[in-house]
Amino acid sequence: MRRIGVSKGIVAAIIIIIAIIIAAALSYKPTAPSKPTAPPKKKPPVTLTLPMKSDIVALNPLNPNTNTVWNVYVFWLVDPSLPLITLKSDWSDFTGWAAKSWEISAENGRTVFTVHLRQGMKWSDGKPITADDLIFSLNYVIEKDLAPTWKEMFDKAVKVDDLTVKIYLKDQYPLAYFWSYIPSIIPKQVYENVKDPVHWEPKISEYVGAGPYKLVKWVKGQYVELEKKDSWWGTSIWNGPLVDKIILRVIKTDDAILLALKKKDVAADTWYVPPTSLVMVNSLPYIKVITKADPGFYYLAFNLRKKPMSDLAFRKAIAYCTPKEEIVKTLLLGQAYPMPAAPISEFYAEHGYLAPNLPKYEFNLTKAKEVLEEAGYKDVNGDGWLEMPDGSPIKVTILTPSYDPIRVRAGEMIAANAKKVGLNVESRAVDFNTIVEDVWPSSGEPTFDMYILGWGVTDLEPFYLRDFFHSSQDVVVTHGMGLNSPGYNNSKFDEVIDAAVKTIDKNKRKQLFYEAEKYLAGDLPYVPLYSRAANYAYNIEDWAGWCAEWQNGPASWDNIWTFLHIHKAT
């Protein structure tokens, strides 16, 4: 019995050790991030904590891999590259950031963008920000081949005085089109010594920026700490920022972010609230949830270079076999908008960019059968599947990305409906890379039949229609670089969309977009499926000054207006 006592002793010892560890952990009170070190009367610093779903990648804004939303937080707040202009809080128009004002004129049918920089701007190393920095930046990104679209647009930049630069473009473009391509100002004194800007990485202690905050700590994989600058050139203009510290901490899952929001560990959910969590989030009295239409959209694309996808009747039949309403209702729990026949998401529709009276292809299997019959599709060999009017057999596949169950299921639903009308259509979930390889080969013709993917778009107006459908952007023509994956080639559409991106008058431009959309809705290179309704949650009990009208959400990566004006609620 004595030996049994020893084993009990071992168990007891382990329990005591575990208990000590848990007790030590429970009794632990972390030193407040904002522990004051100054005289006792001074108020403790105000710290805003927000979640990031992934860590930032690097600190150099010219490294193409830093093009992530989490990196943009740091880039906007520290401004290692300083944007000239940005959008007003309601996205109704542009407003200056580094630019105090600007004029747009025309010389020999080409746009001249004259920029007047703000006076008194300084980099964090004390050097003034001048016309020389801007001209250096405009040329540097071309010299280093970092901005191909800008290279196509940009002609030259001429210094007028220390704060004024005339930027000459090669053609006539409206600001709404070219603004997002203008390179931001980078510190000349830093980059003129950098030969390979893609692979260069600055040290935190030498990180030069022009923004309201400075980067003080980056604990890799865990958090980024930003501290308000003692003096910033923008404070007198925007009366901000008001928060002393911003901590961006990595919380990888939606569930954990929402629990952190519930516990008030973070001030907002910086990602979309999943539809399944809306009930829980709505039940929290201190959290406000708002819904915004996402500009991006999801679509089914046809390979128009191959039969039967080259036949409009087949494409129309597939459009009639696509249950957009059901996809939205059952797969997205209603948190999305079914797309019209043209690829114009709800966001653009709300801003008046959806052409009136476009053809509708509402889910209707009878109509699909009629379209095919009228076009001469018949089951000639009696195998139970329809053949093309010329007798060619039909056996086609819809590729869907395996990482997204919604698109996988949508593909299956469309294929099942197509089978009901006699079309031998399969849906196959594959790795994203496989789709990219089939759709964007660097040589030869794309091999896919149909695929379902999505586009994230950030244009103010549907300029993306040119990238996605102009014949010059065909994947084959551009050796895998263009975005016109269907191989859509309609000279009338090309003419209209070319005119749209070069028309200065906004109303005339809108009419041209309408005309372009009519071609797309009639020819159906895409069956647009749905655009998402993005839900954003943020704490209104402890924090005030949110800029909720910003399209990407009140705590989004690019919502500088929130970061300038957010403060503790009284």
Partner 1 sequence: MGLARYAIKRAVHSLALVFFVVSLDFVLFRCMPGNPIARLLDPRMKPEMKAYLMHLFGLDRPLWEQYLLYIKNLMTGNMGYSFITLRPVSEMIMDRLPWTLALMVPSVVFSLIIGTLIGVYASWRRGGLVDVTTTIVTMVFYAMPVFWLGGLLMLYFAVYLGWFPIAGAVTPGATYNSIFDEITDVVWHATLPMLALTLITVAYNFMLTRDVMLDAVSQDFILTAKAKGISEGKIMFKHAFRNALLPIVTNAVLSLAGTISGAILTETVFSWPGLGTLTYQAIEAQDYPLLQGLFFIYTVVTIIAIYFLDLTYGFIDPRIRR
Contacting partner 1 within 373-392 (CB under 8 A) = none
Determine the Cα–Cα distance for residues 515 and 357; give it in Å rounded to an integer: 11
Using an 8 Å Cβ cutoff, are 425 and 398 in contact?
Answer: yes
- Residue from 39, 41, 263, 356 that binds partner 1 (CB under 8 A)? 263
Provide the H-helix boundaries in 232-311.
Answer: 235-238, 254-262, 278-282
Binding flag, residue 21, partner 1 (CB under 8 A): yes
* Least distance from partner 1 to the Cβ atom of residue 492, Å: 26
Q: Which stretch binds partner 1 (CB under 8 A): 168-176, 246-254, 409-417, 500-508?
A: 246-254
- Site for partner 1, residues 81 to 140, rule: CB under 8 A: none
- Residue from 100, 127, 262, 428 that binds partner 1 (CB under 8 A)? 262
Residues 6+ apart with CB under 8 A from 193: none
Binding flag, residue 255, partner 1 (CB under 8 A): yes
* Least distance from partner 1 to the Cβ atom of residue 530, Å: 23
Comparison of 252 and 506: residue with beta carbon closer to partner 1:
252
Using an 8 Å Cβ cutoff, are 57 and 63 in contact?
Answer: yes
- Residue from 290, 430, 499, 540 that binds partner 1 (CB under 8 A)? 430
Partnered with residue 538 across adjacent β-strands are: 268, 288
Determine the Cα–Cα distance for residues 172 and 111; give it in Å rounded to an integer: 5
Comparison of 7 and 205: residue with beta carbon closer to partner 1:
7
Comparison of 28 and 507: residue with beta carbon closer to partner 1:
28
For the chain, what percentages of helix, strand and coil (3-state, to nearest 5) are there?
35, 20, 45
- Residue from 94, 150, 168, 432 that binds partner 1 (CB under 8 A)? 432
Q: Angle 6-8-14 (CA atoms, 0-180°, nearest 5)?
A: 105
CB atoms near residue 366 (< 10 Å): 9
Comparison of 34 and 189: residue with beta carbon closer to partner 1:
34
* Least distance from partner 1 to the Cβ atom of residue 429, Å: 11
Q: State the sign of the Cα–Cα–Cα–Cα dihedral 454, 460, 465, 468.
A: negative
- 428 burial class (0-12, 13-18, 19+ CB within 10 angstroms)? middle
CB atoms near residue 150 (< 10 Å): 17
- Site for partner 1, residues 322 to 351, rule: CB under 8 A: none
- Residue from 120, 148, 352, 391 that binds partner 1 (CB under 8 A)? 148
Comparison of 62 and 82: residue with beta carbon closer to partner 1:
62
Comparison of 142 and 176: residue with beta carbon closer to partner 1:
142
* Least distance from partner 1 to the Cβ atom of residue 6, Å: 6
- Residue from 2, 41, 42, 43 that binds partner 1 (CB under 8 A)? 2
- Residue from 156, 395, 420, 479 that binds partner 1 (CB under 8 A)? 479
Comparison of 225 and 517: residue with beta carbon closer to partner 1:
225
- Residue from 142, 440, 471, 544 that binds partner 1 (CB under 8 A)? 440
- Site for partner 1, residues 182 to 241, rule: CB under 8 A: 198-199, 201, 217, 219-223, 225
Q: Which stretch binds partner 1 (CB under 8 A): 205-213, 260-268, 324-332, 343-351?
A: 260-268
Binding flag, residue 7, partner 1 (CB under 8 A): yes
Determine the Cα–Cα distance for residues 290 and 553; give it in Å rounded to an integer: 8
- Site for partner 1, residues 459 to 478, rule: CB under 8 A: 475
Determine the Cα–Cα distance for residues 467 and 470; give it in Å rounded to an integer: 6
Tell which residue, 556, 522, 508, has the closest CA to residue 536.
Answer: 556
- Site for partner 1, residues 29 to 48, rule: CB under 8 A: 30-35, 47
Binding flag, residue 283, partner 1 (CB under 8 A): no
Half-sphere exposure of 432 (CA within 13 A, CB side): 6
Comparison of 146 and 365: residue with beta carbon closer to partner 1:
146
Residue 353's φ and ψ, nearest 5 degrees, are -100, 10
Binding flag, residue 447, partner 1 (CB under 8 A): no
| Amino acid (1-letter code) at residue 201 | E
* Least distance from partner 1 to the Cβ atom of residue 71, Å: 11
Partnered with residue 568 across adjacent β-strands are: 543
Binding flag, residue 426, partner 1 (CB under 8 A): no
Find the length of the chain.
Answer: 570
- Site for partner 1, residues 42 to 81, rule: CB under 8 A: 47, 49, 54-55, 57-58, 63-65
Partnered with residue 260 across adjacent β-strands are: none
Using an 8 Å Cβ cutoff, are 163 and 128 in contact?
Answer: no
Determine the Cα–Cα distance for residues 546 and 555; give it in Å rounded to an integer: 8
Tell which residue, 534, 541, 543, 533, has the closest CA to residue 563.
Answer: 543
Residues 6+ apart with CB under 8 A from 146: 62, 64, 197, 198
Instruction: Show the binding pattern over residues 500-539: x = contacts partner 1 (CB under 8 A), - = does not.
Output: ----------------------------------------
Comparison of 223 and 353: residue with beta carbon closer to partner 1:
223
